[in-house]
Homo-oligomer: A and B are copies of this chain.
Amino acid sequence: MASSIQYKIRPATEEDVPVLLSLVKKLAEYEKLSHEVTATSILFRENGFGKESYYKCLLADGGDKSQPRYFGFALYFFTFSTFKGKPTLYLEDLFVLPDFRGLGIGKSLLIRLAAIAREKKCGRMEWAVLDWNQSAIDFYKKIDAVPMDEWTVFRLDEKAIFRLAESPR
């Protein structure tokens, strides 16, 4: 493992999509959720850089002008808090490649996200953490993040959405 490292944090562009997807797959592997990944580069392009833009992404890039070199990423979007009346910066994924951990890259990504949230006048930043991921939980508590222990997220998958859409009123 490197002991110190040069990199910049920059917004991802359409050209980064294939690498972004490979980083998402590495994250899924780490979370033991690879079986859930059905995303493709086409979908990532269409839904991030097409007519609609559902997400934004920061990359930690240690490369030079001729060649990017990816250490990690943060993918986010803006939601809305009805209690605050303000947008929330929601962090969908934060991931640093295992070989480059402990160098402050995750913290750098979070600091940049906080600056973006401040600029956009967000009332909150939020993200979900797997309950077994103790190192992540420790990291987030250090920056004063508060676990919303009394809430549970419910999910409908595509099939259930179709069934519900067709059900009698």
Contacts and interface: CB of A to CB of B under 8 A. Distances in A.
B117 A85 contact: no
A37 B162 CA distance: 34
Nearest to A55: B80
B146 A154 contact: yes
Interface in A152-168: 152-158, 160-165, 167
Given A79-B79, A144-B163, A43 B86 contact: yes
Give the copy number: 2
A1 interface: no
B169 A108 contact: yes
A39 B123 CA distance: 10
Looking at chain A's contact residues, is the secondary structure mostly helix, strand, loop, or mixed?
mixed
A118 B143 CA distance: 38
A158 B33 contact: no
A154 B145 CA distance: 6
Contact of A152 (B89, B122, B149, B165): B149
A97 interface: no
Interface residues of A, number: 78
Nearest to A105: B169
B156 A144 contact: yes
A145 B43 CA distance: 25
B156 A131 contact: no
Nearest to A36: B83
Interface string A133-151: 0000000100111111111
A39 B157 CA distance: 32
12 contacts: A27-B82, A47-B86, A79-B92, A111-B165, A114-B162, A114-B164, A117-B161, A128-B154, A146-B157, A148-B153, A149-B152, A153-B153
